[in-house]
């Protein structure tokens, strides 16, 4: 009943507004006139009676306003009015509005973008059922790094381990698909039969691989990705059972993976085929089955924990059984590294991502501090306005609602602009992302995070925005109306000063971090890679087709191709190598030294199968002995090898390594290889990693012919420009051979530092934003302070203060704030820089040069920020200032 009454009343009041208004006017007029008439009857003169009636009634407008409110008119109406008022207010102060909205947008947008990128990579679980149970198993590599495993190791674990439901191994496959159009190269994977079961995602069409598919000389079967199936085979369900031609062989399609399948172990793979390695002949360590080149993953048994799995594999590693003999490079002396798949794929990028996340949170805090500061400054300016509105009859709740509306309006604008920033940011992040970044495809603007950012800033806007309303309605309006009241301003000023100190401190933390990263990158690029990277073109040449199964044919093709490339105009030298520095290759074999006391002493070294002329082309210096020549390509009884400098120093201290003998990558009864030369160290993994023991053999004398080799070309002019001509030269020998990954060596150098550069770019952006916001904060506080102290400055000038002393007064105020902020910031940076220590190179987290440079930069910015208000203070005219209030 009451509800309907209220609704009706509200309805009447809202929709029949003008009638209600006129009725209210009439009713109030009646009251005042009736009272006046009574006063006249009691002997007061008519004029006096009207005056007293109106006075005693009180503010008519206020009564009407409260009356409207009592009827609930204001719900919609006052919202519209507040919005209009707020909008016109914002338009009246475009500078304030622009800075606030921009600050909000940067804070919300940057945080959302970074969180959106980091969330799927670090925090969301992988898109597999019970993803937490999927593990990766690796061998211990050099310096505790993870290294791949051999097929026989996988077999041993699959046989002996009980912690895993399924174990699987995989390696990359790059088949050429031949259709009616033209041959096309695809990324794919060789997988053991349990691969998809380990991940927990079966094909949605057809069937999964069975153990019977994955046997030596087994059937040629293939599973396609959804994208390949749709784009190349028209999404035809009848594809199952059809034959397709891959690398001259006919394969039967047995399945299609679902479109939702995300393959984090091979993001670009579009085809899968069984590995079909030979489980027999385990004692022959020269076979590919003993090469540590497979990635192993496994799904834990329900209820099994990662610790159980680690313990079990450690036990197996330490307990050799006769059925599974092991060569030296797969002795598992240190056991195995068991990681969750999630940790495994994010291991390399985690420090950078966490650091970036921390940095963007600092930016958000700075943005919030800045908005608080701006709103506080405005609230001081608006005290007069609110006092006036209170005096004119605006109720406290009315003022609060007005301010809430304005704050929400600002937040909404900031949110919209922030969404734009977030969208652009996410796009920029994906474009900038280094190749190591996993799951880039699943990065999209994160709704909840965006809502969080908008929520936080809105809340701040509301709280800070409310201060003037509360103050205006609590204080006696007449006091606030007199602008000379400085009591309340003092409290505000202290708060604002504190906020500026916080901003400066946080900005310093960000600046120091990005300064350290910048210096790291400089140090990194100052590292000599061990070869001359300029004018060097690189590309990978692959062979496919049955005719290249023959080693002699394969080697002949590469030799002819090299000859053709050397004849290309503009080419000054060229050579092939089995692995290229900084390309991501890690082809490692064990080295046994004749002079070692223990035959079990086998050290890992990078294996380079190179054509004679490789060192000359790369510019790798010869330290001792000789380089390879054309005769070395022939089968000599004792294989000549070259080793690198650091290996020579460590293994032959004070001796001449030339003529010493080693055994490299083969069975223990192979003949010894003879060291004929020592060459300079070369960075293989990245510029930052010093581990670079290397052994070079000629391609022709390696255990097998490498079907995939890197071509390095020294050019006279621009290296990249020569790529088409070089490619044509290779195709002149065989037009069907894929030539891929063409890049300049300088490009590879840059890519090897991509992760650091990525972090640096983000830090630089954030630090710049922080610096600008801190500068704006100092400027805002000082100009507010100068405006408030105009009278004081006038008095000082009138009493004989010089302009210089006024200038000093203001600058001192600003620099004091900066100084306190810097002091706090330095302490903060010393702590925060430990978090990015993993990304630093050649720079201490406490690098004095960086700290000093950043302090000078920050001081410079704050001097500029002080300058304008100080100049304004200096120009205060004492006469005007004293008359001002």
Partner 1 sequence: MDKQLDLLQGTLDMLILKAVSLGPLHGYGVLLRIQQISKDRLEIQQGSLYPALYRLEHQGWIASEWGESENKRKAKYYRLTAAGKRRLQTESEKWNRMADLIAGILDTKPEEI
- Per CB under 8 A, residues contacting partner 1 are 1-2, 5-6, 9-10, 23-24, 26-28, 30-31, 34-35, 37, 56-60, 62-63, 66-67, 69-72
State in angstroms the smallest separation of the CB of 10 from partner 1.
7
Smallest distance, Å, CB 59 to partner 1?
7
- The DSSP annotation for 368-394 comes to HHHHHHHHHHHHHHTHHHHHHHHHTT-
What's the rounded Cα separation, in Å, for the pair 831 and 836?
A: 10
Give the nearer residue to partner 1 in terms of CB position, either 6 or 179. 6
Q: Are 374 and 96 in contact (CB under 8 A)?
A: yes
Do 208 and 291 meet the contact criterion of CB atoms below 8 Å apart? no
The minimum distance between CB 31 and partner 1, in angstroms, equals 5
- Please say which residue, 60 or 462, places its beta carbon nearer to partner 1: 60
Sequence-separated (6 or more) residues with CB below 8 Å from residue 19: none
Residue whose CB is less far from partner 1, 55 or 634: 55
Q: Report the residue number, 31 or 51, with the smaller CB distance to partner 1.
A: 31
Q: Are 644 and 679 in contact (CB under 8 A)?
A: yes
- The span from the CA of 363 to the CA of 102, in Å, is 13
Q: How far is the CB of 403 from partner 1 (least distance, A)?
A: 22
Helices (H), 234-336: 306-317
Closer by beta carbon to partner 1, 12 or else 286: 12
DSSP class of residue 126 equals P
Residue 84 CB, nearest distance to partner 1 (Å)? 24
Of 676, 218, 755, nearest in space to 434 by CA? 755
Of 63 and 787, which CB lies nearer to partner 1 in the complex structure? Answer: 63
Q: How far is the CB of 70 from partner 1 (least distance, A)?
A: 4
Q: Are 578 and 665 in contact (CB under 8 A)?
A: no
- State which residue, 58 or 659, has the beta carbon closest to partner 1: 58
Closest separation in Å from C-beta 380 to partner 1: 32
SS3 letters across 689-730: CCCCCEEEEEHHHCCCCCCEEEEEEEECCCCHHHHHHHHHHH
Q: Of 31 and 556, which has the nearer Cβ to partner 1?
A: 31
Pairing of strands 694-698, 188-191: unpaired
Pick the closer one to partner 1 by CB: 66 or 165: 66
**591: helix, strand or coil:** strand
| Shortest distance in whole angstroms from residue 46 CB to partner 1 | 16
CB of 6 or CB of 305, closer to partner 1: 6
Taking the complex as a whole, the smallest distance from the CB of residue 12 to partner 1 amounts, in Å, to: 10
To the nearest whole angstrom, how small is the minimum distance from the Cβ of residue 2 to partner 1?
5
Element (H, E) at 801: none
Smallest distance, Å, CB 472 to partner 1? 21
**Non-local CB neighbours of 653 within 8 Å, separated by 6+ positions:** none
CB of 127 or CB of 393, closer to partner 1: 393
The encoded tokens of residue 18 equal: 């003008």
- Give the contacts of 604 (CB within 8 A, at least 6 positions apart): 141, 142, 329, 588, 589, 590, 591, 693
Least distance between partner 1 and beta carbon 466 (Å): 24
Nearest distance, CB of residue 58 and partner 1, angstroms: 3
Place of tokens 């991502």: 353
Cβ-Cβ contacts under 8 Å for 485 (sequence gap 6 or more): 479
- With respect to partner 1, which residue has the nearer C-beta, 5 or 88? 5
d(CA 468, CA 402) in angstroms, rounded, equals 11
Contacts of 376 (CB under 8 A, 6+ apart): 464, 467, 492, 495, 496, 499
Of the two residues 39 and 205, which places its CB atom closer to partner 1 in the complex? 39
* Beta-carbon contacts of residue 368 (< 8 Å; ≥ 6 apart): 107, 456, 457, 460
> Rounded to an integer, what distance in angstroms lies between the CA atom of residue 325 and that of residue 34?
115
User: In the numeric block, which tokens belong to residue 429?
Assistant: 């992040």
């Amino acid at each position: 009943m009451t509800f309907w009454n209220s609704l009706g009343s509200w309805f009447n009041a809202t929709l029949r507004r003008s009638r209600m208004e006129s009725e209210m006017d009439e009713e109030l007029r009646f009251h005042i006139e009736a009272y006046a008439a009574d006063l006249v009857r009691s002997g007061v003169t008519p004029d006096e009676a009207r005056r007293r009636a109106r006075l005693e009634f009180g503010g008519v407008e206020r009564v009407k306003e409260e009356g409207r409110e009592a009827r609930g008119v204001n719900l919609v109406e006052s919202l519209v009015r507040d919005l209009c008022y707020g909008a016109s207010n914002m338009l009246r102060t475009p500078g304030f509005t622009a800075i606030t909205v921009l600050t909000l947008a940067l804070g919300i947008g940057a945080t959302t973008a970074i969180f959106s990128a980091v969330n799927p990579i670090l925090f969301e679980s992988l898109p597999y059922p019970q993803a937490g149970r999927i593990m990766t198993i690796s061998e211990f590599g050099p310096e505790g790094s993870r290294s791949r495993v051999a097929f026989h190791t996988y077999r041993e674990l699959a046989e002996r381990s009980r912690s895993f439901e399924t174990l699987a191994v995989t390696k990359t496959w790059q088949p050429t698909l031949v259709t009616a159009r033209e041959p096309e190269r695809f990324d794919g994977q060789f997988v053991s039969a349990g691969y998809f079961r380990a991940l927990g995602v079966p094909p949605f069409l057809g069937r999964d691989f069975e153990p019977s598919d994955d046997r030596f000389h087994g059937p040629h079967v293939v599973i396609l990705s959804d994208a390949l199936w749709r784009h190349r085979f028209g999404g035809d369900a009848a594809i199952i059972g059809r034959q397709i031609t891959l690398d001259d062989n006919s394969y039967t399609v047995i399945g299609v993976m679902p479109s939702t399948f995300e393959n984090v172990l091979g993001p670009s793979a579009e085809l899968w085929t069984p590995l079909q390695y030979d489980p027999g002949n385990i004692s022959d360590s020269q076979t590919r089955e003993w090469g540590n080149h497979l990635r192993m993953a496994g799904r834990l048994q329900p209820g099994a924990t990662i610790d159980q799995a680690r313990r079990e594999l450690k036990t197996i590693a330490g307990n050799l059984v006769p059925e599974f003999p092991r060569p030296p490079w797969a002795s598992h002396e240190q056991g195995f590294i068991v990681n969750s798949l999630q940790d495994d794929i994010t291991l390399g990028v985690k420090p950078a991502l966490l650091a970036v996340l921390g940095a963007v949170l600092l930016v958000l805090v700075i943005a919030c501090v800045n908005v608080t500061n701006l709103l506080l400054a405005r609230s001081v300016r608006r005290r007069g306005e609110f006092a006036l509105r209170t005096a004119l009859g605006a109720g406290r709740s009315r003022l609060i609602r007005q301010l809430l509306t304005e704050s929400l309006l600002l937040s909404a604008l900031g949110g919209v602009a922030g969404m734009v920033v977030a969208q652009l940011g996410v796009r920029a992040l994906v474009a900038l992302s280094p190749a190591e970044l996993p799951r880039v495809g699943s990065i999209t603007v994160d709704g909840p995070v965006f809502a969080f950012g908008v929520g936080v800033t809105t809340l701040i806007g509301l709280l800070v925005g409310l201060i003037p309303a509360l103050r205006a309605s609590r204080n006696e309006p007449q006091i606030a109306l007199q602008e000379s009241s400085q009591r309340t301003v003092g409290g505000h000023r202290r708060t604002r000063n504190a906020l500026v100190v916080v901003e400066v401190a946080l900005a310093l933390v960000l600046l120091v971090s990005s300064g350290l990263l910048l210096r790291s990158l400089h140090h990194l690029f100052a590292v000599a890679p061990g070869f001359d990277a300029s004018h060097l073109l690189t590309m990978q040449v692959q062979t496919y087709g049955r005719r290249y199964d023959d080693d002699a044919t394969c080697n002949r093709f590469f030799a002819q191709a090299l000859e053709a490339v050397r004849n290309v105009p503009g080419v000054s030298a060229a050579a092939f190598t089995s692995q290229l520095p900084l390309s991501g290759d890690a082809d490692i074999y064990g080295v046994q030294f004749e002079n070692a006391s223990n035959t079990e002493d086998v050290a890992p070294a990078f294996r380079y199968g190179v054509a004679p002329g490789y060192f000359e082309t790369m510019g790798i210096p010869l330290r001792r002995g000789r380089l390879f020549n054309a005769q070395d390509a022939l089968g000599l009884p004792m294989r000549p090898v070259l080793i690198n400098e650091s290996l020579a120093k460590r293994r032959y201290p004070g001796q001449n390594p030339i003529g010493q003998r080693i055994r490299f990558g083969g069975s223990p009864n192979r003949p010894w290889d003879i060291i004929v030369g020592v060459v300079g160290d070369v960075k293989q993994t990245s510029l930052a990693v010093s581990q670079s023991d290397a052994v070079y053999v000629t391609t022709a004398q390696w255990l097998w012919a490498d079907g995939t080799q890197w071509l390095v070309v020294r050019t006279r002019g621009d290296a990249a420009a020569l790529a088409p001509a070089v490619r044509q030269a290779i195709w002149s020998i065989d037009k069907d051979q894929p030539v891929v990954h063409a890049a300049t060596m300088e490009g590879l150098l840059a890519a090897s530092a991509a992760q650091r550069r990525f972090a640096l770019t983000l830090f630089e952006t954030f630090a710049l934003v922080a610096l600008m916001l801190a500068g704006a904060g100092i400027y805002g506080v000082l100009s507010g302070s100068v405006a408030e102290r105009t009278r004081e400055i006038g008095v000082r000038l009138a009493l004989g203060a010089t302009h210089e002393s006024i200038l000093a007064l203001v600058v001192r105020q600003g620099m004091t704030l900066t100084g306190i902020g810097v002091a706090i910031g330095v302490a903060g940076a010393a702590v925060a820089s430990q978090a990015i220590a993993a990304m630093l190179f050649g720079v201490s987290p406490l690098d004095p040069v960086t700290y000093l440079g950043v302090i000078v930069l920050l001081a410079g910015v704050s001097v500029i920020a002080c300058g304008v208000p100080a100049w304004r203070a200096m120009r205060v005219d004492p006469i005007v200032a004293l008359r001002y209030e």
